[in-house]
Chain A
Amino acid sequence: MESQSYSIGMTSSEFSSPACPRCSCPLPEDAPEGLCPRCLAAINLETQSLFDEQMSTARPVPRIADIAKYFPHLEIHACLGRGGMGVVYKARQISLDRWVALKLLAPECQQNPEFKERFMREAQALAKINHPNIVTVHDFGQIDEFYFLLMEFVDGANLRQLLNSHQFTPEQALAIVSPLCDALQYAHDRGIVHRDIKPENLLMDLDGKLKVADFGLVKLLDAVSPTDKHSVGTPCYMAPEQKTDPENVDNRADIYALGVVIYEMLTGELPGESFMAPSVKTPVDARLDDVVRRAMNPEPANRYQHASGLKTEVMFISSSWNKSECSSARAERPVGRMNVNRFILPACGLMIASSLAAGLNLISGLALFIRFKNGDFSASIPYRGLLPLELGYHHPAFTIPARYAEMLYGYTPGFVVLAYLILCLALVLNLLGVYGAHRMKIGSSRNWSVFGCAIALLLGFFMMVVRWSDVLSAMLALAQIGTGIWGLMMLVSVRSHSFPQVQEKLTDHSQVIELSNQEHIWWIKIPGIGLISAAGFNLALLLIAALGTLQGPMHSPDSWVQVNLLPVAIILQALVLWGSIEMRSKRGYPLALLGALCSMVTTHIVFVGLIWKIWSPLLLVGMLLGLVFGAWGFLSLLNPRVSGSFQRHGRVIPRWIYCCSGMMIILLMIVLQWRWIML
Chain B
Amino acid sequence: MESPAMPLNSDPNAKKRLFLTTRWSVVADARQPASQDGADALASLCETYWYPLYVYVRSKGHSIHDAQDLTQAFFAKLLEKGYLHSAQREKGKFRTFLLMALNRFLWNEWDRGNAKKRGGNMTHFSLDADVAEHRFAREATAGLAPDEIYQRRWALTLLDQAMARLRTAYSNSGKEREFDALKTTLTADRAGVSYQNIAQALDMTEGAARVAAHRLRKRFREMFREEIASTVANDQEIEEEIRYVVSVLSRG
A209 within 8 Å of B (CB atoms): yes
Q: Which of B200, B213, B220 contacts A165 (CB 8 A)?
A: B213
B36 within 8 Å of A (CB atoms): no
Number of inter-chain CB pairs below 8 Å: 167
Q: How far is the CA of A6 from the CA of B167 in the complex (A)?
A: 11
Report chain B residues within 8 Å CB of A544.
none
A329 near B199: Cβ-Cβ < 8 Å: yes
Report chain A residues within 8 Å CB of B117.
none
With known contacts A37-B156, A42-B250, A207-B208, A28–B199 Cβ distance under 8 A: no
Q: Which of B5, B211, B221 contacts A204 (CB 8 A)?
A: B211
Nearest-neighbour CB distance to chain A for B68, whole angstroms, equals 19
A65 within 8 Å of B (CB atoms): no
Q: Which of A41, A210, A332 has the most CB of B within 10 A?
A: A41
With known contacts A43-B220, A44-B225, A208-B205, A37–B159 Cβ distance under 8 A: yes
Closest to B197 in A: A327
Residues from 211 to 233 in B contacting A, C-beta threshold 8 Å: 211-215, 217-218, 220-221, 224-225
Of B59-67, B76-84, B104-112, B180-188, the one touching chain A: B180-188
With known contacts A29-B138, A204-B211, A172–B220 Cβ distance under 8 A: no
With known contacts A1-B164, A6-B3, A30-B135, A162–B210 Cβ distance under 8 A: yes
B19 within 8 Å of A (CB atoms): yes
Contact with B along A29-47 (1 / 0, CB 8 A): 1101111111111111100
Q: How far is the CA of A207 from the CA of B225 in the complex (A)?
A: 27
B133 within 8 Å of A (CB atoms): no
B189 near A22: Cβ-Cβ < 8 Å: yes
A48 within 8 Å of B (CB atoms): yes
Q: How far is the CA of A659 from the CA of B1 in the complex (A)?
A: 56
A12 within 8 Å of B (CB atoms): no
Q: Which of B1, B192, B204 contacts A207 (CB 8 A)?
A: B204
Nearest-neighbour CB distance to chain A for B122, whole angstroms, equals 22
Q: Which of B1, B186, B215 contacts A43 (CB 8 A)?
A: B186
Closest to B249 in A: A41
A3 within 8 Å of B (CB atoms): yes
B160 within 8 Å of A (CB atoms): yes
A208 near B204: Cβ-Cβ < 8 Å: yes
B193 within 8 Å of A (CB atoms): yes
Q: Which of B190, B207, B221, B249 contacts A48 (CB 8 A)?
A: B221
With known contacts A1-B19, A38-B250, A44-B224, A166–B185 Cβ distance under 8 A: yes
A40 near B2: Cβ-Cβ < 8 Å: no
B214 near A157: Cβ-Cβ < 8 Å: yes
Residues from 153 to 205 in B contacting A, C-beta threshold 8 Å: 155-156, 159-160, 162-164, 167, 183-193, 195-197, 199-200, 203-205
B195 near A166: Cβ-Cβ < 8 Å: yes
Q: How far is the CA of A176 from the CA of B210 in the complex (A)?
A: 13
A205 near B213: Cβ-Cβ < 8 Å: no
Q: Which of B47, B207, B218 contacts A208 (CB 8 A)?
A: B207
Q: Which of A38, A176, A209, A332 contacts B249 (CB 8 A)?
A: A38
A45 near B243: Cβ-Cβ < 8 Å: yes
Q: How far is the CA of A38 from the CA of B208 in the complex (A)?
A: 27
Contact with B along A142-164 (1 / 0, CB 8 A): 00000000000000110001100
Q: How far is the CA of A37 from the CA of B224 in the complex (A)?
A: 12
A167 within 8 Å of B (CB atoms): yes
Report chain A residues within 8 Å CB of B205.
207-208, 329-332
Report chain B residues within 8 Å CB of A38.
249-250, 252
With known contacts A37-B249, A206-B212, A208-B208, A21–B164 Cβ distance under 8 A: no
A8 within 8 Å of B (CB atoms): yes
Closest to B246 in A: A41
Q: Which of B159, B164, B209 contacts A41 (CB 8 A)?
A: B159
A255 within 8 Å of B (CB atoms): no
A329 near B163: Cβ-Cβ < 8 Å: no
B206 within 8 Å of A (CB atoms): yes
Q: Which of A33, A161, A165, A326 has the most CB of B within 10 A?
A: A33
Q: How far is the CA of A44 from the CA of B246 in the complex (A)?
A: 8
With known contacts A157-B215, A165-B214, A327–B138 Cβ distance under 8 A: no
Closest to A156 in B: B211
Q: Which of B156, B208, B210, B243 contacts A166 (CB 8 A)?
A: B210
Residues from 232 to 264 in A contacting B, C-beta threshold 8 Å: none
Q: How far is the CA of A165 from the CA of B192 in the complex (A)?
A: 11
Q: How far is the CA of A625 from the CA of B119 in the complex (A)?
A: 102
Closest to B213 in A: A165
Q: Using a Cβ–Cβ cut-off of 8 Å, how many residues does chain B contribute to the interface with A?
A: 62
Q: How far is the CA of A205 from the CA of B209 in the complex (A)?
A: 10
A616 within 8 Å of B (CB atoms): no
A167 near B221: Cβ-Cβ < 8 Å: no
Report chain A residues within 8 Å CB of B218.
48
A32 near B214: Cβ-Cβ < 8 Å: no
Nearest-neighbour CB distance to chain A for B2, whole angstroms, equals 6
Nearest-neighbour CB distance to chain B for A4, whole angstroms, equals 10
A175 within 8 Å of B (CB atoms): yes
Q: How far is the CA of A326 from the CA of B155 in the complex (A)?
A: 41
B199 near A32: Cβ-Cβ < 8 Å: no
Q: How far is the CA of A39 from the CA of B163 in the complex (A)?
A: 13
With known contacts A38-B250, A329-B199, A161–B19 Cβ distance under 8 A: no
Report chain B residues within 8 Å CB of A3.
2-3, 5
With known contacts A30-B1, A326-B206, A329-B200, A43–B217 Cβ distance under 8 A: yes
Q: How far is the CA of A39 from the CA of B183 in the complex (A)?
A: 12
Q: How far is the CA of A28 from the CA of B138 in the complex (A)?
A: 9
Q: How far is the CA of A161 from the CA of B221 in the complex (A)?
A: 14
A516 within 8 Å of B (CB atoms): no
A322 within 8 Å of B (CB atoms): no
B15 near A30: Cβ-Cβ < 8 Å: no
Report chain A residues within 8 Å CB of B19.
1
Q: How far is the CA of A156 from the CA of B207 in the complex (A)?
A: 10
Closest to A13 in B: B184
A208 near B184: Cβ-Cβ < 8 Å: no
A5 within 8 Å of B (CB atoms): yes
B140 within 8 Å of A (CB atoms): yes
A45 near B211: Cβ-Cβ < 8 Å: no
B242 within 8 Å of A (CB atoms): yes
Closest to B15 in A: A1
B127 within 8 Å of A (CB atoms): no
B245 within 8 Å of A (CB atoms): yes
Residues from 43 to 99 in B contacting A, C-beta threshold 8 Å: 47
A209 near B200: Cβ-Cβ < 8 Å: no
Nearest-neighbour CB distance to chain B for A394, whole angstroms, equals 61
A545 within 8 Å of B (CB atoms): no
Closest to B162 in A: A32
A20 within 8 Å of B (CB atoms): yes
A165 near B217: Cβ-Cβ < 8 Å: yes
Contact with B along A409-440 (1 / 0, CB 8 A): 00000000000000000000000000000000
B211 near A39: Cβ-Cβ < 8 Å: no
Closest to A46 in B: B221
Q: Which of A20, A45, A161, A162 contacts B242 (CB 8 A)?
A: A45
Report chain B residues within 8 Å CB of A206.
208, 211-212, 215
B188 near A22: Cβ-Cβ < 8 Å: yes
Q: How far is the CA of A206 from the CA of B173 in the complex (A)?
A: 15
B206 near A161: Cβ-Cβ < 8 Å: no
**Top 8 A-B pairs ranked by shortest CB distance?**
A208-B207, A208-B208, A208-B205, A39-B187, A332-B205, A157-B214, A41-B249, A329-B205
Contacts from B to A (Cβ < 8 Å): 1-3, 5, 15-16, 19, 47, 135, 138-140, 155-156, 159-160, 162-164, 167, 183-193, 195-197, 199-200, 203-215, 217-218, 220-221, 224-225, 242-243, 245-246, 249-250, 252
What are 20 A-to-B residue pairs whose CB atoms are below 8 Å? A3-B2, A6-B1, A6-B2, A6-B164, A8-B2, A28-B139, A30-B1, A37-B156, A37-B159, A41-B246, A41-B250, A48-B221, A161-B214, A162-B210, A166-B191, A166-B195, A166-B213, A204-B207, A208-B211, A330-B204
Known contacts A44-B224, A165-B185, A206-B208; 10 additional CB pairs below 8 A are A38-B249, A38-B250, A40-B159, A41-B224, A41-B245, A45-B246, A166-B193, A208-B209, A326-B196, A329-B199
